[in-house]
Structure 1
């Protein structure tokens, strides 16, 4: 009877121990190498690592690495975009500066051309009065006769003639323009290369004796239009008439214009000479 009780007690004890082991199994995990029974108790003083925690940590590490890689790629893309924008902006800036410099140079050149092709603007274009005519110079560097005539017509004038009584006045007028390199101007007069006769702009024949520039009149049969040159030095021999081809551009810088004057004329005392009285009716075609 006692033995039977001992056996029953032993089975009961084993059952209780087994139940304790099963209950404690929930707190036991595999440890792998370094633990003889391959398990540890989470409630023990010795640290214990769950395999799920390890996997979670590895996933977190991979996620962090992927995030860092994406951030690096984004920063690299931003850096490249900034460099491209900088290059584009710098290139545009250079082009803008070059365009501005070119425009400034063009404006400067235009101003210089306007200075070299100076045309004196007055309320009344007349600059000198002789007899019943007034005269002015339209200065256009590099213009031939045909192009220059238009500047006279624009102010209700015509290409001017040089008569005996206005010769010195016209020379003085031309010298006024020497500061802008005007020394020779077209006239309205022509020369017949065959008869060597001189005609005014209205085709009337001139009987005046002309003072020709050395080397003139030229023998070119097309050189039928007359010009007058006045050197800055009044005593220079480089003053006188020339006969040129009307298409020539190199030797003249303007044209002498002429028109009849009335009582409302503009008087320039520094230039005008031989001013007639208001009742003057003298003929301008007379010889000096």
Structure 2
């Protein structure tokens, strides 16, 4: 594997920085490896197989092997290059994730939640590459699989005339799919890059509830389903849907449903 300077790299998954000054040009070339480029700062144009794309901060550039590509910087620009040999990953990851993400060369600006997730994964990979212990190569493989999974699962943004509508839809999708991983309202607001007050205001305008109230509805709906359809212990169900405290879970369940979880399971199965 070779980096952008032509030097051979020993790792089968590698991250390195590519810096560009204003008006710099990287001539058309290709690689035999898979690449994901993440724009840390600046703006410019990327050409993939003769198709031009505008790129800016937080743009992800997906480059399959043997894709002719070039970059023209329109300002000072820094790009993080993630280069890897897909054969190091398991067969299922290659078939379901690598093939899905790298069906074609494309530029994607992911929604704010997935972008935040991918930035954290890239930071973890950089740490493993620089400071990792004897398991650092395994860590890179695990984070690589998670990064591909996030890109493959991420919904495509559609043009919206109302930015608040887009943000609310992204927020609801995030809660629907990550209900088990949300700590509090500040956690969501930080991922959205906005204040908690503003986030709650726009969500309440569309759904007449706060994001955390909606999160509770989502979690309790899943709890009711698991109580009736499975034999899982209540403590396991509580953990699975994201409640950190069993006492909090019991209190919320009785307040919203009217009866304790055990009684709900018994009465619903009796029907």
TM-score bin, normalised by smaller chain: under 0.3
TM-score norm. by structure 2 comes to 0.22
TM-score norm. by structure 1 comes to 0.21
* Larger radius of gyration between Structure 1 and Structure 2: 1
